[in-house]
Structure 1
Amino acid sequence: MTLEADILAAFPAEVQIPARLVADAVAASSAVTPRMLVVLDDDPTGTQSVSDLPVLTSWDVEDFIWAFGQAKPAVYVLTNTRSLDPAEAAERNEEVVRNALAAAGSSAAGTGSTGESNLRLGFVSRSDSTLRGHYPLEPDVIAATVAEVTGEKTDGVVLVPAFPDAGRVTIGGVHYMRGTGEDAGKLTPVAETEFARDASFGFANSDMAKYVEEKSQGRFAAESVIVLDLNIIRAATDPQTTANAIADAIAPATDSTPIVADIVTENDLRALSLGLEEAERRGKKLLYRVGPPFGRARIGQEIRKELSGAEAYAGNTPSLAGGLIVVGSHVGVTTRQLKALTEQHSAARIIEIDVEKLLAAETETAADDYLNQTVSTVVDALRGGDVIVHTSRLLIKTDNPAESLRIARTVSAAVVAVVNRTLKTFPPRFVIAKGGITSSDVAAHGLEIRHAIVRGPMLPGIVSLWEPVDGPAKGIPYIVFAGNVGDDQSLADVTRKLSNTF
């Protein structure tokens, strides 16, 4: 570990930049033809940094027309590609981009007198702040699809994995994780954390240029990566001077050149956003591969204060039933959060889905019988209070990435079945889903959410609340809780806000 203060001493201090300055720059560029960012979110936790934006869990042309009709600067599309194999992920990215472009060009989305679309789209590939996911495959597919459909070639792919609210920062081109507790103020290169040993998306480099070379298998050499370090991000106290410096640094980018940005604070993200806006004004065509807070900064949205329990239920009458907390993630922080919740919430019923038993079921009927028994137990428990449903904590590992994904899907399908059957039998007061794949599948299939509005965070900068606007879960607050964020008390804190028995 290294002290953050020691590393930052070599760079300029951050420059205060109001969100309104970015919003005004975005508005100016959209004055003639409005622009909307389409965020392809590889799991639903990318919404935790934004508020009052539409979310789609399906991506037919009609779904995009609904989203575009909300007249917001961005829409999040829940692709869940982190749970898919590369071929499936590529196919899904292409389908989303094609349908978004078709919707933008449709008469329902609005066209000018010449027949040209009245809506410009920008594309964001949102992924993990700990560098797990299908890179460079996803931005490659987005760029290729945009080029095929529109003829527009991508000059640069901007990588911004930083997530300061969750302790992930990039300094000097190196991506770090901040320590907590006794290790507060210290930084660990992300390649030295448990996330780098991910069975499906492991990696060896914390230096972002070297990470790009590693993941692209040498297609992009480390020395070809443009690095926007803090000397550029904080080039001057005048925001326009900084924006020009960033745009100048990006100018050489061509043919999807990777561009890495240092980020430590929200002000850094806003400075970067001004620079990207200037680069695009000059004609650069950019795609983005980013962590959660980038979208907020890029559209000039203020940081939304955490929602209270009353705000979570605003406009809806809370059920008297218990709430349902579903935990699928196996990372260390999730296990600690689950332990804290179960120790503090003595009134909650704890029900485990036995993964080994599920995987060992000899027939689909046997597995289904086991799930039906679990649902019956959950429903009975909800009548008396909150229920915590978690998968067994023994993580079944394999050296085969494809097999790892298959196991993850099997487990997630079981969780989804339990949630869906419970919802149709006895709707809970609220639903919290812990873990990226878990929360995605619970949203799209367990709760059958098609369209939602992300209202804001339940904790400062992290953990988003969705309001389903259709389907059987309409009116039930849905909390998307990433597996790798928060401290040991965070799950208990969110549950306490929503519960009527905690």
Structure 2
Amino acid sequence: MPLEADVLAAFPAEVRIPARLVSDSVAASDEASPRILVVLDDDPTGTQSVANLPVLTRWEEADFRWAFGHSIDGVRPRAVYVLTNSRSLDPSEAAARNEEVVRNALLAAAAEPAGAKLHLSFVSRSDSTLRGHFPLEPDVIAATVAAVSGEATDGVVIVPAFPDAGRVTIGGVHYMRGTGDAAGELIPVAETEFAKDASFGFTSSDLAQYVEEKSEGRYPAGSVIVLDLNVIRAGAAANGTPEDPQRSALAIADALDAASESTPIVADIVTENDFRALALGLEEAERRGKKLLYRVGPPFVRGRIGQEVHAELSGEEAYAGHTPSEAGGLIVVGSHVGVTTRQLNALTAQHRAARIVEIDVEKLLGADAETYLGQTVDDVVAALRGGDVIVHTSRLLIKADDAAESLRIARTVSAAVVAVVNRTLKRFPPRFVIAKGGITSSDVAAHGLEIRHAIVRGPMLPGIVSLWEPVDGPAQGIPYIVFAGNVGDDESLAQVTRKLSNTF
């Protein structure tokens, strides 16, 4: 595998850009027309890189009106997250849900008082390892915007990078950083377990070729605009010339001049400064009249709106404003990727006081599933009275050769996990809830805890793992931790649990 240092040696050094520079640029644009990014998050883990923004698990017009008008620290939000959970849906369901979200958001924005009409930009947030409904979701968003507002999309900006979690794009190729003995190496993402996903597998790590593959040739690789690090870092210092972020912004905007009819645009990203350089370039392109939507990984929004990288939250901050319950906490693990299993093993080995309740997936798929679920809830409630409870699905992944059947099995398992959480919440509310895995954390939020509106307060670990504060429903006052299945090292789940637990 190539070494990251060797691959980067062919490109300029990063351009140092303070978040304030991006924030000020966005604010200047907002003076003419207030703008909010509406982030359609295909699972809830997209919030892990941002702080102090509203999250919706429902998307009626009234929900958007709440989010658009909900000031935080006296400021209207620059982005609103909508938990679509579309990665767990089949293509037709995902398309319908995307259309409904976009249509209702546009209607809510149009209903703003005269003189305060909002301009919405849409972000299709998906997986940093390239799993999800692509190009379906950007296609549907663009078509819906055109149908409702008459505005055509010039380009779809594709930025899956997530450096905090070890995903970077260099020279148009998307990589995972190696760990352990492979530290310093770059692993092309198509050579990882994620590329073998039963529903969203792929074969190419080159993002232009990935676009051609997933679009079935509708967008040939040669038609994709690639903003490599030579463009992103065009403002780097060289030959006595001082670094200049504006040079990067102009180079990026110039490269986008040719975009039309939803041209795919791929961006290299290795550092937070690269995100900020890209944000300045996108601002310039939009000032020139380009209409863009975005298909991105988690940190893009932070860079795009000029947020600082939020420090990890302490346990005290997680409970701020609320008196924590004396009950145990509930840790729910549904993801089956390798890193999740290792994290689960580390947690169970270290947290000797925790009770472990395993949900047997084979029993969930059997005839006596309801009886089995009832007994599981009884076990969880009894255990919470004495301390933390770790609820996890059996580690044997049951899947089918057919993608639709694999999704059906995943939904059945997720529905059972949700039922356990919801029935437990109604009988004996836990001190905190951690949900591990994308589909798991989405369903636990929307249905298990019945969260409709929340505020994402920040990360529990540097750059990853977000804390939601539910603002309504039966889980109000209970810290909810959204923990993606494919992030963190082997100790991460134990570290987060230790912050929140009173028995660990």
Once the two structures are TM-superposed, the CA of residue 319 in structure 1 deviates from its matched residue by: 0.1
Once the two structures are TM-superposed, the CA of residue 126 in structure 1 deviates from its matched residue by: 0.1
Q: How does 1:158-197 map to 2 (within 5 A)?
A: 158-197=157-196
Equivalent in the alignment of 2:23: 23
- SS for the counterpart of 2:282 is helix
Could you list the per-position Cα deviations for residues 375-426 of structure 1 after superposition, in whole angstroms to 9, with x for gaps in the alignment? 0000000000000000000001211000000000000000000000000000
**C-alpha distance in structure 2 between counterparts of 1:357 and 1:374, whole Å:** 11
**C-alpha distance in structure 1 between counterparts of 2:336 and 2:446, whole Å:** 21
**C-alpha distance in structure 1 between counterparts of 2:114 and 2:354, whole Å:** 54
**C-alpha distance in structure 2 between counterparts of 1:299 and 1:415, whole Å:** 35
- SS for the counterpart of 2:365 is helix
Equivalent in the alignment of 1:336: 342
The number of residues matched between the two structures is 492
Could you list the per-position Cα deviations for residues 457-500 of structure 1 after superposition, in whole angstroms to 9, with x for gaps in the alignment? 00000000000000000000000000000000000000000000
**C-alpha distance in structure 2 between counterparts of 1:33 and 1:318, whole Å:** 42
The reply on whether 1:266 has 2:272 as its aligned counterpart is yes
CA contact (8 A) 1:170 1:261 kept: yes
Could you list the per-position Cα deviations for residues 293-319 of structure 1 after superposition, in whole angstroms to 9, with x for gaps in the alignment? 000000000000000000000000000
Give the partner amino acid of 1:496.
R
1:79 to 43, 67, 84: 84
The reply on whether 1:111 has 2:117 as its aligned counterpart is no
- SS for the counterpart of 2:455 is strand
- SS for the counterpart of 1:30 is helix
Once the two structures are TM-superposed, the CA of residue 110 in structure 1 deviates from its matched residue by: 2.4
Equivalent in the alignment of 1:151: 150
Equivalent in the alignment of 1:432: 434
Equivalent in the alignment of 2:422: 420
Once the two structures are TM-superposed, the CA of residue 80 in structure 1 deviates from its matched residue by: 0.2
Once the two structures are TM-superposed, the CA of residue 32 in structure 1 deviates from its matched residue by: 2.2
- SS for the counterpart of 1:2 is coil
- SS for the counterpart of 1:195 is helix
CA contact (8 A) 1:110 1:119 kept: no
**C-alpha distance in structure 2 between counterparts of 1:399 and 1:276, whole Å:** 41
Give the partner amino acid of 1:224.
S
2:310 to 304, 318, 334: 304
Once the two structures are TM-superposed, the CA of residue 357 in structure 1 deviates from its matched residue by: 1.1
- SS for the counterpart of 1:456 is strand
The TM-score, its normalising length taken from structure 1, stands at 0.98
**C-alpha distance in structure 2 between counterparts of 1:357 and 1:110, whole Å:** 54
The reply on whether 1:500 has 2:499 as its aligned counterpart is no
Once the two structures are TM-superposed, the CA of residue 181 in structure 1 deviates from its matched residue by: 1.6
CA contact (8 A) 1:334 1:483 kept: yes
The reply on whether 1:248 has 2:254 as its aligned counterpart is yes
**C-alpha distance in structure 1 between counterparts of 2:396 and 2:114, whole Å:** 54
> Structure 1: 5+ residue runs without aligned partners?
none
Could you list the per-position Cα deviations for residues 332-387 of structure 1 after superposition, in whole angstroms to 9, with x for gaps in the alignment? 00000000000000000000000011112x2xxx3111111000000000000000
CA contact (8 A) 1:179 1:188 kept: yes
**C-alpha distance in structure 2 between counterparts of 1:383 and 1:181, whole Å:** 39
Could you list the per-position Cα deviations for residues 57-111 of structure 1 after superposition, in whole angstroms to 9, with x for gaps in the alignment? 00000000000002110000000000000000000000000000000011xx322
Give the partner amino acid of 1:231.
N
Q: How does 1:288-299 map to 2 (within 5 A)?
A: 288-299=294-305
CA contact (8 A) 1:160 1:289 kept: yes
**C-alpha distance in structure 2 between counterparts of 1:60 and 1:492, whole Å:** 37
Give the partner amino acid of 1:5.
A
The reply on whether 1:314 has 2:313 as its aligned counterpart is no
Could you list the per-position Cα deviations for residues 265-294 of structure 1 after superposition, in whole angstroms to 9, with x for gaps in the alignment? 000000000000000000000000000000
Give the partner amino acid of 2:154.
D
Equivalent in the alignment of 1:5: 5
> Structure 2: 5+ residue runs without aligned partners?
71-75, 236-242
**C-alpha distance in structure 2 between counterparts of 1:378 and 1:441, whole Å:** 18
**C-alpha distance in structure 2 between counterparts of 1:292 and 1:332, whole Å:** 21
**C-alpha distance in structure 2 between counterparts of 1:181 and 1:481, whole Å:** 22
**C-alpha distance in structure 2 between counterparts of 1:197 and 1:2, whole Å:** 22
Give the partner amino acid of 2:331.
I
1:92 to 86, 92, 97: 97
CA contact (8 A) 1:451 1:469 kept: yes
**C-alpha distance in structure 2 between counterparts of 1:335 and 1:329, whole Å:** 8
Equivalent in the alignment of 2:240: none
Could you list the per-position Cα deviations for residues 231-253 of structure 1 after superposition, in whole angstroms to 9, with x for gaps in the alignment? 00000121111100000001100
Q: Which runs of 4+ in 1 moved over 2 A?
A: 109-112
Give the partner amino acid of 2:483.
F
**C-alpha distance in structure 2 between counterparts of 1:216 and 1:142, whole Å:** 16
Give the partner amino acid of 1:123.
F
Q: How does 1:90-489 map to 2 (within 5 A)?
A: 90-106=95-111, 109-112=112-115, 118-236=117-235, 237-360=243-366, 362=367, 366-489=368-491
**C-alpha distance in structure 1 between counterparts of 2:314 and 2:269, whole Å:** 29
CA contact (8 A) 1:269 1:298 kept: yes
**What root-mean-square deviation, in Å, do the aligned CA atoms of Structure 1 and Structure 2 show?**
0.6
**C-alpha distance in structure 1 between counterparts of 2:209 and 2:150, whole Å:** 31
Once the two structures are TM-superposed, the CA of residue 216 in structure 1 deviates from its matched residue by: 0.2
**C-alpha distance in structure 2 between counterparts of 1:21 and 1:213, whole Å:** 35
**C-alpha distance in structure 2 between counterparts of 1:213 and 1:304, whole Å:** 36
**C-alpha distance in structure 1 between counterparts of 2:356 and 2:455, whole Å:** 30
**C-alpha distance in structure 2 between counterparts of 1:159 and 1:86, whole Å:** 20
Give the partner amino acid of 2:219.
F
CA contact (8 A) 1:105 1:111 kept: no
The TM-score, its normalising length taken from structure 2, stands at 0.97
